[in-house]
Amino acid sequence: MSFIDFIDPVGFVLMLPALALALYAQFKVQSTFAKYLHVPARSGMTGAQVARALLNEAGLYDVPVEIIPGRLTDHYDPRTRTMRLSPEVYHGTSVASLGVAAHETGHALQHAENYIPLSVRNQLFPVAAFGSQLALPLFFIGLLFAAPGTGSWLMNLGIWFFAAAVAFQVVTLPVEFNASARAMQLLVSQGFIGRDEAPRTRAVLNAAALTYVAAAAVAAMQLLRLILLRNAREE
């Protein structure tokens, strides 16, 4: 196999649009969050207060709201049933802070309701995490050492492992979109943000959603690249 075959220029070109989308998504979420982090919500409540109020309203009194270092490190941990908010969200009173806090509350509500896409994602997570670590090493070992025309079970195994990671990224999309939709509905209906403030909060959540779309696109294109490489090696 030649060096040109190994670096796979066609596959690299195939990846470029998805990688460009990923870079744009990261820029978009960072810039949009920074922009609306300085726009205070009229309710004057902090992200932590909003999260606590929404959790209590849903009867989830036993889900703690904790602070975690970093920016945009906010997440809900279904294993410990704990919500963790970054300092800017936990203490923040902006439309951005409230949107992120409500979004993570949406995940807690999904978990409490056994929302099917979230359950599927949680079940896929161990396989996807394990597979994403092993998929590429297995594939490229098979690519380098398999005899032409005979196929390689290592390449196929790597592809299947990577397919699990792609499935995880894809099923993440409805989970994230649903959490954002819940967030907007709860924030407006319960008066934490006004209807005129909603477009700014929605802009933050939409920018965050784009990062998940980009991650799914990158993963899907990488999977396609592996399949094309495998097929070319088999010829």
Average pLDDT of the residues in 89-94:
97
DSSP helix/strand/coil, 196: coil
Nearest of 160, 116, 164, 169 to residue 138 by alpha carbon: 160
Distance CA 144, CA 154 (A): 10
Report how far apart, in Å, the C-alpha atoms of 95 and of each of 40, 70, 77, 187, 227 are: 6, 19, 23, 10, 44
Considering the entire predicted model, what is its pTM?
0.86
What's the mean pLDDT when you consider all of the chain? 88
pLDDT at 230 over 80: no
Q: What is the pLDDT of residues 106-156, one digit of tens each?
A: 999 999 999 999 999 988 888 888 777 777 777 777 767 665 544 577 778
Type of residue found at 147: A
CA angle centred on 200, ends 96 and 46, rounded to 5°: 30
Active-site choice (57, 66, 88, 104): 104
Tens digits of residue pLDDT in 153-162: 777 888 888 8
Is 66 in the active site?
no
Integer CA distances (angstroms), 214 to 27, 96, 143, in order: 12, 21, 27
